[in-house]
Amino acid sequence: MITSVLPTYNRAPLAFVKGEGSWLIAEDGGRYLDLGSGIAVNALGHAHPALVETITAQAQKLWHVSNVYRIPEQEALADLLVEKTFADTVFFTNSGTEAAELAIKMARKYWYDKGEPRSEIIAFEGAFHGRSTGAIAAAGSEKMVKGFGPLMPGFRQLPFGDHDALRAAISDKTAAVIIEPIQGEGGIRTLPDACLKGLRDLCDETGALLIFDEVQCGMGRTGKLFAHEWAGVSPDIMMVAKGIGGGFPLGAVLASEKAASGMVAGTHGSTYGGNPLGCAVGATVMRIVSDDAFLAEVNRKAALFRQGLEGLVATHPAVFKAVRGQGLMLGLECVLPNADVVKAGYDQQILTVAASDNVLRLLPALTISDADLAEALRRLDATATRLETA
């Protein structure tokens, strides 16, 4: 289709006009079961009553003021994040990419202020940290960097989960290590808990700062508020976005006092970052998602769903190979090309998202009902059956 929009996306010929919980309603009235959630953004589904109420009330009071003033809504959300995590301090952004930019700047400024010339940041193959010049240099894949050089220097990529390669590469010259505890775009690739612990130890030995990119795997997605909690280790800096705004553009960089020590007045800023509207919404999302009973429900539903998906793998070995992931951040390894499975899903009115490694990503709303999960399994089953008989 020809539009005035810059064609950087291969778009499906679908347009939605309304969302209700786990459902999206298309222009023609068709109801689609949404297992993509805007790529893990709509953590509470579409048009969650508490979010509609929060944004409506805030919209009537105050949308935007400059960060040259105190912003009480921003302070309240920062307090909530600090209370529930390793962090001592928070900076708000509008996206995950902007969070990546600050994480990189923060790590380098830390070493600059210490008077040690450390600038190298170790990242991992298959990573995704955003599309800015810094974030693509960190990821380093040909797909993301080709044609955009010269790249920002100072990054190197190691194989994901290769502890020996990391041990060989990390040194007292390393400024930081940046990693997604579960790679999202990379194909729902989970770093084993032992690797995350080993990574923390190597950072402690060399002084390198540890940056977790929890833009996709954070905010309750894995059944803990943040994915790294499963391994019992904390980063020095963490990037958050996607789910935290529940659909409103919002991101954050969380950090320990030590890691953030270089970021004094005048070193960073954002016009919109931390605006009252976004932070009011973010605080409502945080209050709901950080509740232990809510996270217990995510884990209960995740176990149910995963069991059903294992069943699909068993009944459709010509389509699906295995289930991967944690909580409601799941992937089906495909036998057929994943793009074909996503497309066949549209005919069954179910929305999934492709990822690398020929994986079909399943990222339902954390609030999805048992009935909708059962319906998702039926529609995935029908999708696979159609592909087998095609």
Ligand X SMILES: *Cc1c(COP(=O)(O)O)cnc(C)c1O
Nearer of residues 100 and 254 to ligand X, judged by Cβ: 100
Return the residue of 130, 243, 274, 345 that touches ligand X, per CB under 6 A: 130
Nearer of residues 277 and 387 to ligand X, judged by Cβ: 277
CB of residue 100 vs ligand X: minimum separation in angstroms? 6
Is residue 190 within the footprint of ligand X (CB under 6 A)? no
Is residue 191 within the footprint of ligand X (CB under 6 A)? no
Is residue 97 within the footprint of ligand X (CB under 6 A)? yes
Is residue 241 within the footprint of ligand X (CB under 6 A)? yes
Residues in the interface with ligand X (CB under 6 A) total 15
Nearer of residues 176 and 335 to ligand X, judged by Cβ: 176
Return the residue of 73, 180, 236, 372 that touches ligand X, per CB under 6 A: 180
Tell me which residues in 145-174 interact with ligand X (CB under 6 A).
Answer: none
CB of residue 278 vs ligand X: minimum separation in angstroms? 13
Is residue 93 within the footprint of ligand X (CB under 6 A)? no
CB of residue 329 vs ligand X: minimum separation in angstroms? 10
Identify which range of 93-101, 188-196, 284-292, 353-361 contacts ligand X by CB under 6 A.
93-101
CB of residue 8 vs ligand X: minimum separation in angstroms? 13
Alpha-carbon radius of gyration of the chain = 21
Tell me which residues in 199-238 interact with ligand X (CB under 6 A).
Answer: 213, 215-216
Q: How many residues does the chain have?
A: 390
Alpha-carbon span 322 to 276, nearest angstrom: 43
Return the residue of 19, 36, 38, 96 that touches ligand X, per CB under 6 A: 96
Identify which range of 3-11, 18-26, 50-58, 178-186 contacts ligand X by CB under 6 A.
178-186
Return the residue of 22, 42, 58, 95 that touches ligand X, per CB under 6 A: 95
Is residue 128 within the footprint of ligand X (CB under 6 A)? yes
Is residue 92 within the footprint of ligand X (CB under 6 A)? no
Residue nearest to ligand X (CB): 96
Binding site for ligand X (CB under 6 A): 95-97, 100, 128-130, 180, 184-185, 213, 215-216, 241-242
